[in-house]
């Protein structure tokens, strides 16, 4: 039996949050995936970073281009020292850039194999310091990588159309998934070709729907009735289901998937059950997810008949216009040998003319070309922006994940994303060619879009970043790249009280293994300074909460221009938002859950304030009586097991440690029972491992056999209430006592975990030897229930102890008091070697067996009990890119501009990468309240 329940090759600690998004099968496929990435400017570097963090098995990097200053505007780890030495002809050999990129990837995470893509030795790219774009790929090497190394996915960034068509044809021929990603200033493009028949194994990130069964009739069709708490609306006609844990009608357990029909009353028709045994109790019905086949067109076809991702017909028309703009930009570069110059009206008009002359797209007769849109794209297309690279790089990496893991629906087939709303709406403030000309500095890519004056304004900003977790680290990286607070009068303050944990390393790329245990704020600040040596960043390890307002008070906020919130609770968001409202500071906020993400901006007097929920719905507590005696869901059993851990291994130890005071004052309702359970069947303090096993086995008997028998004595299965209804009716499920069986894995795991925790609490050595434990348990006698009855008082009856129990307890506690103090154990979800999650999982599963409830597996249990929010690097990077775009607008609206940007310029954003849903909308206006409402 594998206690961890996950493959040995998968590091569950590292990928714990991502496992809840992808699941084990998809994670295993990702770990075996092989990707070729060509183009390592800002966009390519973002794709590579995300793939490495997610755990792709093999990543081959290629780029023969020399580094230039504009790359530094969006590169999280570019090689400034080399660029400073060679300002014009940088690196005639492609291997230097590839070597640096490979080093970067492997330093992020040692589980990813990377290799450098050498240039074709006969090509001009390998011999010339200024390789032409048309010959920069060694086709023989590409073919070798595709066939010999069995590459599954090829991604091209910063490539011309000729390259895209040639590589796309080659990938199509060999059955390799092909992606093209590109950004031009404030516009981005992504294309996916996964072949003619690509099978998607799982469309969603949700676990298969599982519901508890109340009854199944014998008949044709058999009618399945779900328990009251289950919701049949989540099942659909034609869904395939299977069954498990049924007593009586066991023919259904593990059967081939059966189609269902959902009836109006919520019952399910499940096919002919006439010949099956009579249903007795328990069991679960579980959805079987169906694979879906996707068909993509090759690039040459998709260019003229594009299928674009759009949420509305208006978005579709805009996307097709941007499609033509990109085609025109490729044509301009092919004819001129260069991209359009920044904000050059003549070059922009040439691009518009080329767009007019393009062959019309098929199926779009009557659609007019939006020439103003094409012109704006051309004027700003020379720039390279970190937020755009972050956004498009995240979506591209997510599509690579879909190609490898066959999880989630791929894009169909073109995605166009534009943030032209970042540009001033007033033509008076638009950049000019002179202001956007290269300065020979790391911000040239950004200056090409917004101008040098805007860059100067960015450098003088002073911002507070609250939180240095996954979102916070990405934000800090983005701030470093755009130069926020990098000037003489600027600065960043990073506030976070937490320390680096191992699970952080798969999403927070500023951290390294050697940083585990260090303060997040300090590590992140130092890493950000390495990204941009001009950055002025101050770490604070004090939380931003009401207890620290003497630190984050008037003096502090008077020196801050704005706040970025990257916190993980609604309570913290509300407090940060309240501080911003009080001090009239703009707030940038982002959050993620799995492949869903949001980015919001709140500007005083311009937009509404933050108004999120007060708390998450899952934080609502369950009624105590429901958890203790009448559970009906896996969540109930898990909360009960979590409380058991606290009572057995923390509260009881603390009570024993102050036993002298406890014995003179037993008025506290829980103290007698706490003292009883820690003593258990033992008459003396445990001396060795076997004593701990005896205690654990006795407690198994108490909780899952004797305790249930005791409950049924008070409330027999046939008990009838005064109104004539059965006591054990919906939603109560009549429990059944269990028989201990050491051959059953869950029984053994409970005793193994409980005995080890009991040993830890008493400072004794434990054991992981499961065969030896099984042999020991076969030799130990099971306790007579009457003996348990004489030791333990019923928590259903009076809490007062009888004289015999008090005497027994006093004798035992006297023995306990002679040893060293006990060690109270505090629940830690992220250490899979400490038996904490193992105990809770096993206890909850046994409790579920008592009540006929479908149990949660270990991964589900860890997420629910540990209150873990599913997370993945791609969603984090995407929302941070969206926040960065809003930052440009907030800063752009400051002096010397006479007034802030209008509300119509700002965007709240929501995305769902698994479902290819992208929504951006103008924030609501602030509420207007009259100071004297009774006055006219």
Catalytic site positions: 625
Distance, in Å, from the CA atom of 253 to the CA atom of 249, rounded to the nearest integer, reads: 8
Q: Do 471 and 591 touch, CB atoms closer than 8 A?
A: yes
CA distances from 153 to 135, 211, 311, 786, 889 (A): 21, 38, 27, 66, 36
Which stretches within 827-872 are classed as H helix?
Answer: 836-851, 858-865
Q: Exposure string (b/e) for 41-56, b if CB count within 10 Å is 16 or more? A: bbbbbbbbbbbbbbbb
Distance, in Å, from the CA atom of 348 to the CA atom of 383, rounded to the nearest integer, reads: 14
804 dihedral zone (left: phi>0; alpha: psi -120 to 50; beta) = alpha
Distance, in Å, from the CA atom of 46 to the CA atom of 53, rounded to the nearest integer, reads: 11
Which stretches within 366-469 are classed as H helix?
Answer: 371-380, 386-405, 444-450, 452-459
Q: Give the count of alpha carbons within 13 A of 584, CB side only.
A: 3
Distance, in Å, from the CA atom of 90 to the CA atom of 369, rounded to the nearest integer, reads: 40
Distance, in Å, from the CA atom of 288 to the CA atom of 238, rounded to the nearest integer, reads: 11
Q: Exposure string (b/e) for 879-907, b if CB count within 10 Å is 16 or more? A: bbbbbbbbbbbbbbbbeeeeebbebebbb
Q: Do 916 and 409 touch, CB atoms closer than 8 A?
A: yes
DSSP state of 232: G
Q: Determine how β-strand 153-157 pairs with β-strand 177-184.
A: parallel
Tokens of 172: 């199509």
Q: Determine how β-strand 258-259 pairs with β-strand 240-244.
A: antiparallel
Tokens of 88: 């014009």
Strand-by-strand arrangement of the 491-495 sheet: 537-540, 491-495, 462-466, 562-565, 587-593, 596-602, 908-912, 917-921
Q: Determine how β-strand 261-262 pairs with β-strand 268-269.
A: antiparallel
Distance, in Å, from the CA atom of 545 to the CA atom of 552, rounded to the nearest integer, reads: 9
Q: Evaluate the CA torsion angle 34, 38, 40, 43 in order and state its sign.
A: negative
128 dihedral zone (left: phi>0; alpha: psi -120 to 50; beta) = beta
CA distances from 578 to 464, 553, 575, 581 (A): 14, 13, 5, 5
Q: Which uninterrupted H or E stretch holds 625?
A: helix 624-629
Distance, in Å, from the CA atom of 555 to the CA atom of 400, rounded to the nearest integer, reads: 48
CA distances from 61 to 47, 99, 154, 193 (A): 11, 9, 10, 20
Reported in sequence order, the residue ranges of 113-269 that DSSP labels E, i.e. its strands, are: 113-116, 153-157, 177-184, 187-193, 198-200, 210-216, 223-226, 240-244, 258-259, 261-262, 268-269
Nearest in space to 589 (alpha carbons), one of 909, 912, 920:
909
Distance, in Å, from the CA atom of 219 to the CA atom of 813, rounded to the nearest integer, reads: 60
Distance, in Å, from the CA atom of 497 to the CA atom of 472, rounded to the nearest integer, reads: 13
Tokens 């206006």 belong to residue: 925
CA distances from 395 to 114, 195, 643, 654, 874 (A): 21, 19, 41, 50, 7
**CA 507 to mean position of chain CA atoms:** 8
Q: Exposure string (b/e) for 540-573, b if CB count within 10 Å is 16 or more? A: beebbeeeeeeebeeebbeebbbbbbbbbebebb
């Amino acid at each position: 039996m594998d206690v961890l329940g996950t493959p040995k090759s998968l590091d569950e600690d590292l990928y714990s949050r991502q496992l809840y998004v992808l699941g084990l099968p998809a994670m295993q496929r990702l770990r075996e995936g092989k990707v070729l990435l060509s183009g390592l400017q800002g966009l390519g570097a973002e794709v590579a970073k995300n793939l490495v963090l997610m755990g792709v098995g093999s990543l081959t990097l290629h780029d023969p281009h020399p580094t230039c200053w504009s790359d530094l505007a969006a590169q999280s780890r570019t090689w400034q020292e080399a660029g400073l030495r060679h300002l014009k002809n940088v690196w005639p050999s492609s291997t230097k850039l590839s070597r640096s990129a490979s080093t970067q990837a492997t330093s992020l995470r040692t589980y990813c194999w990377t290799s450098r893509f050498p240039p074709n030795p006969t090509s001009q790219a390998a011999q010339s310091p200024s390789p032409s774009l048309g010959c920069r790929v060694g086709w023989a090497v590409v073919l070798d990588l595709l066939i010999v190394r069995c590459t599954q996915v090829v991604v091209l960034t910063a490539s011309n159309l000729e390259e895209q068509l040639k590589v796309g044809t080659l990938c199509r021929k060999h059955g390799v998934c092909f992606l093209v990603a590109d950004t031009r200033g404030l516009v981005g493009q992504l294309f996916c070709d996964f072949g003619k028949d690509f099978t998607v194994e799982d469309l969603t990130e949700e676990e298969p729907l599982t519901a508890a069964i109340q009854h199944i009739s014998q008949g044709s069709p058999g009618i399945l009735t779900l328990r009251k708490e289950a919701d049949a609306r989540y099942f659909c006609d034609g869904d395939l289901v299977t069954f498990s844990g049924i007593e009586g009608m066991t023919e259904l357990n593990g059967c081939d998937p059966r189609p269902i029909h959902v009836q109006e009353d919520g019952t399910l028709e499940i096919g002919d059950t006439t010949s099956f045994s009579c249903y007795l109790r328990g069991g679960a019905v579980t959805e079987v997810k169906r694979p879906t086949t996707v068909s993509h067109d090759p690039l040459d076809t998709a260019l003229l008949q594009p299928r674009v991702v759009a949420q509305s017909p208006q978005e579709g028309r805009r996307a097709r216009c941007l499609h033509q703009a990109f085609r025109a930009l490729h044509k301009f570069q092919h004819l001129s040998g260069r991209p359009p110059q920044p904000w050059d009206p003549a070059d922009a008009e040439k691009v518009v003319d080329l767009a007019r002359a393009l062959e019309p797209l098929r199926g779009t007769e009557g659609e007019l070309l939006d020439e103003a849109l094409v012109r704006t794209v051309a004027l700003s297309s020379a720039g390279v922006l970190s937020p755009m690279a972050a956004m498009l790089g995240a979506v591209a990496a997510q599509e690579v994940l879909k190609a490898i893991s066959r999880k989630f629906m791929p894009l169909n087939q073109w995605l166009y994303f534009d943030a032209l709303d970042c540009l001033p709406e007033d033509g008076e403030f638009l950049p000019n060619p002179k202001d956007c000309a290269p300065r020979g500095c790391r911000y040239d890519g950004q200056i090409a879009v917004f101008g040098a004056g805007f860059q100067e304004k960015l450098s003088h900003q002073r911002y507070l970043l609250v939180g240095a977790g996954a979102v916070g680290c990405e934000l800090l990286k983005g701030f470093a790249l755009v130069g926020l607070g990098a000037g003489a009068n600027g600065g960043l303050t990073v506030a976070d009280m937490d320390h680096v944990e191992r699970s952080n390393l798969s999403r927070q790329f500023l951290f390294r293994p050697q940083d585990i245990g260090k303060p997040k704020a300090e590590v992140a600040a130092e890493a950000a300074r390495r990204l941009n040596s001009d950055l002025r960043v101050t770490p604070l390890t004090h939380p931003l909460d009401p207890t620290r307002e003497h630190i984050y008070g008037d003096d502090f906020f008077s020196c801050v221009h704005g706040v970025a919130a990257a916190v993980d609770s609604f309570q913290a968001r509300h407090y940060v938002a309240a501080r911003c409202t009080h001090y009239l500071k703009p707030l940038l906020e982002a959050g993620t859950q799995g492949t869903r993400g949001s980015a919001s901006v709140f500007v005083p007097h311009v937009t509404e304030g933050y108004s999120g929920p007060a708390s998450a719905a899952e934080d609502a507590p369950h009624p105590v009586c429901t958890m203790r005696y009448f559970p009906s869901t896996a969540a109930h059993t898990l909360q009960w097991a979590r409380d058991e851990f606290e009572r057995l291994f923390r509260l009881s130890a603390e009570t024993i440690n102050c036993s002298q005071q406890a014995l003179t004052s037993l008025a506290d309702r829980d103290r007698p029972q706490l003292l009883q359970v820690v003593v258990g069947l033992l008459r003396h303090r445990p001396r060795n491992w076997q004593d701990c096993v005896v205690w654990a086995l006795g407690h198994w008997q108490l909780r899952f056999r004797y305790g249930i028998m005791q409950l049924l004595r008070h409330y027999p299965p046939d008990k009838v209430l005064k109104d004539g209804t059965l006591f054990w009716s919906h939603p109560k499920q009549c429990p059944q006592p269990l028989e201990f069986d050491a051959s059953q894995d869950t029984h053994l795991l409970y005793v193994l975990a409980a005995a080890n925790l009991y040993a830890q609490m008493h400072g004794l050595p434990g054991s992981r030897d499961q065969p030896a434990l099984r042999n020991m348990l076969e030799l130990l006698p099971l306790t007579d229930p009457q003996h348990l009855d004489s030791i333990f008082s019923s928590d259903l009856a009076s809490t007062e102890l009888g004289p015999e129990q008090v005497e027994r307890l006093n004798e035992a506690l006297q023995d306990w008091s002679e040893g060293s103090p006990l060690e109270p154990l505090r629940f830690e979800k992220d250490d899979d070697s400490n038996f904490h999650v193992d105990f809770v999982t096993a206890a909850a599963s046994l409790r579920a067996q008592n009540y006929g409830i479908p149990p949660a597996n270990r991964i589900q249990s860890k997420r629910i009990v540990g209150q873990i929010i599913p997370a993945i690097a791609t969603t984090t990077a995407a929302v941070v890119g969206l926040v960065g775009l809003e930052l440009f607008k907030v800063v752009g609206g400051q002096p010397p501009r006479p007034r802030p940007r209008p509300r119509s310029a700002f965007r709240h954003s929501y995305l769902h990468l698994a479902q290819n849903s992208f929504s951006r909308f103008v924030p609501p206006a602030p509420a207007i309240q009259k100071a004297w409402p009774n006055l006219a």
